[in-house]
Every structure is written in structure tokens, then in C-alpha cells.
Amino acid sequence: MKPDRTPNRGDEAPAACPGRRRLARTPLIVLSAIAPVGLLALVPTHAAMPVDRAKVDVAGPSADSNEISRPPVVHDPELAPLRADGSAILGEFEPAVAPFMVALDEQTVEYEVTALTVLPGETVDVRVLGPEGPTGYGLRFAGGDVLAATSDGWTWQAPDEPGMHALRVEPEGSTEAVHVNVMVLHPREHVSDDELHGYRIGHYQERPLRGNLAYVAPEGFIEVPAEAEDVLVSPHFTIGQFLSKQPGSPRFLALSMPLVRKLEAVLARANASGIETPTFHVMSGFRTPWYNASIGNKTIYSRHLWGDAADIFVDVDGNQDMDDINGDGRADAADARLLADLVAEVESSGRPGILPGGIGLYRRASHRGPFVHVDARGQAARW
């Protein structure tokens, strides 16, 4: 194992410091043909109707021709989290924006695939946005349960046990869909003696940095078996890219979705500027506090400990080193500077959902090439 000795000078900086992976698709079933009878009655605005799980799989149209179609629900035990197609890892970048507007609680889904982290038993409101609401759309799920069908979508409850599951919102008669890869967390209360099922986690500080709630210990950790490392967390990043170099089987991590959304935005900006790359190489993502200390890092508040930081570079040729993205014939700090400038452009763009954070430029060292640190701490920091 090659230890990750990336320094974290900026992680505690004062606030004032200044192709694409092809998505595996499954043929969709026309939901209107299998919608449960009990879900076809009209519900008043903002009202919710409990879903009878026993009837979810019952096929057949409503016998009452005067009833107005409700958004159907399909329990599909075969539905699995969407994975990257490894054969397309060096393919052309495509934006993969969501084909229609969906919100998970208050977070609008920007892409056709996203990850969602929840605690066991937690409920999530899945809503189809727009003037017509969920009319003509259905929700397909495997694990957990749909507690209610509402006037603008559904209320889904996560399973009681940690694991990976899938939700899919799909229009009737279309192959388009919004895929949600759900990560049910192991709650942090399950960490005992600084370990989670034998995996060393270490100790988070009891007092958040400067009282900032972003530095409260993560609410839970995602279990990632080796066979699940290619599960997508967004169109161009897999969960395996953010795993710590700390060995173990299975491994665990915390993951910040604001960071993932930020990386997707930077990737889109890079490709729009002429840097053709289907993803970024994530040299370092999540680190447990134990691992961070074991490699000599003194930063007890590093955003890496929250899965909210990534050290990235462009590596289309796969040689584990920064590519010559500015075209000057060398791969050096100038290429990292160009990448850092793209991150800064995204931060200053005013794009909704993009949090400011740390941008750190690192020059070439004897054991690695140049790279850029990116995080989504909510406050700008530069080094």
C-alpha cells in the first residue's frame, strides 16, 4: 500500500483566507400497465395516502373510469444501484443532465444519476417538479418501503439495515429515467472503540472547528464491499474513487454530496474549455481520522475526514500523473494552476448548489505529480 502523505495546510485556514462513463441501462416497463388499483384515486393537494405494500405489485387498471391516474409505484426486487460501464471510461464526456426535474427532499437532482445518503429508517420525499407534478411518472424501488403517494410524488422510507439500494423515477413509455443510488449508512453510534466492524475509524474532535456544524462528526459511514466500488455517485464518479487507501474488507467512508456536485461542475467546465476528460483522477478522497494520523498528518479538522475533499488531477492516459492540459509540452504546476482556476471559476459562477471551499495547488514532489485540492466546506480558503 502506498501511503497518502498529502499535506492539509489549508484545511484549517481561517475563513478570511482568501469517455464519460456510459450508464448501464435496463429496459423500462410501461408503468401505467401495472399500476396498483389502490394508487389511482385522486388525492387532494398536499395530502398523502398510505400505500398498501401488499398491493404495490398488483397489475391492472382502475375499474372506475372516472378516477384520475395517480403516480404509480412499482416494487422491483431486481432493481440494483447503477454502475459505471468500465469499457467506456475513456469515452467522450457527456453532461448527463437529468431529463426531467426531480427533488429529494429539498435537493434538486441535477443529473440522470445521483447518490443519496440516509440513515436506517429515514424517510425521503421524492418529488417530480414542474406544473404537471408526477402525472405520467412512476417510482420504482427495491429496498425500503413507500409509505405514501402524495400530490407531487412519494414518501420513501429507507430499510432498517445499512446497505446500497436503488430508486428510479421514470416516465411512462420512455427509456429516460432519474436513477438514485441510495447508501444506507452505518450510524456513527455503531463505532465502538474507534472501530466499525473491525475497520479503524479513529476519533473525531468533540468540539467543531470554530463552532462550525460542518465539523461535527459524520452521521454515519457507507459500507463499500470490493464488488460495489463501481457504483456511481454521479454520472462521472464512482464511490470507489473516494475510498481511503486504508486497507480493509469491507471498507467504509463518509461522502459529501456537495463535493460530488462541485466536482461534476468542474469537470463540465474543464471539458467546455477544451480539456477532454471523462472524469478526474481522485488521488485522495476520504480518510479516517486514524489513517490521517497514521501517515503523519497533524490536521485534525481536514475536510478529507468528512469525505468533503478530493485531491484531483487530469489523467486520461492512465499513468497516475497529471496530463499536459495547457499544451506546453510539460506536466507541471502550470497544469495544476489551470485546473485550480477552473475550480475558482465554478465557485464564482453563482451556480445553485455549489458551495465555496478550499482550493489548494500542489507542485510535483518526488513521490507524486502536481494536483489540486478541492473541498466544499462552505467558506473560501486558498493556498
Read off the pTM.
0.83
Q: Is 19 exposed, middle or buried (0-12, 13-18, 19+ CB in 10 A)?
A: middle
Q: Give kind and range of the element (H or E) at residue 346.
A: helix 333-347
Q: Is 366 exposed, middle or buried (0-12, 13-18, 19+ CB in 10 A)?
A: exposed
Q: pLDDT at position 132, please? A: 75
Beta carbons of 374 and 312 less than 8 angstroms apart: yes
Residue type, 60: G
Residue type, 42: L
Q: pLDDT at position 69, please? A: 53
Helices (H), 17-112: none
Write down the CATH number for the domain with range 9-18+213-382.
3.30.1380.10
Distance set, CA 12 to CA 124, 212, 219, 307 (Å): 33, 12, 21, 15
Q: List the chain domain ranges.
A: 9-18+213-382, 23-184
Task: Walk along the chain (383 residues) and give the pLDDT tens digit of each residue.
Answer: 555 555 555 554 433 333 444 444 443 333 333 333 333 232 333 334 444 454 444 333 444 444 445 579 999 999 999 999 754 444 689 999 999 999 999 999 999 999 999 999 999 999 999 877 778 999 999 999 999 998 889 999 999 999 999 999 999 889 999 999 999 999 999 999 999 999 999 999 999 999 999 999 999 999 999 999 999 999 999 999 999 999 999 999 999 999 999 999 999 999 999 999 999 999 999 999 999 999 999 999 999 999 999 999 999 999 999 999 999 999 999 999 999 999 999 999 999 999 999 999 999 999 999 999 999 999 999 99
Rounded to whole angstroms, the Cα distance separating 66 from 307 reads: 51
Rounded to whole angstroms, the Cα distance separating 282 from 280 reads: 6
| Secondary structure class of 155 (helix, strand, coil) | strand
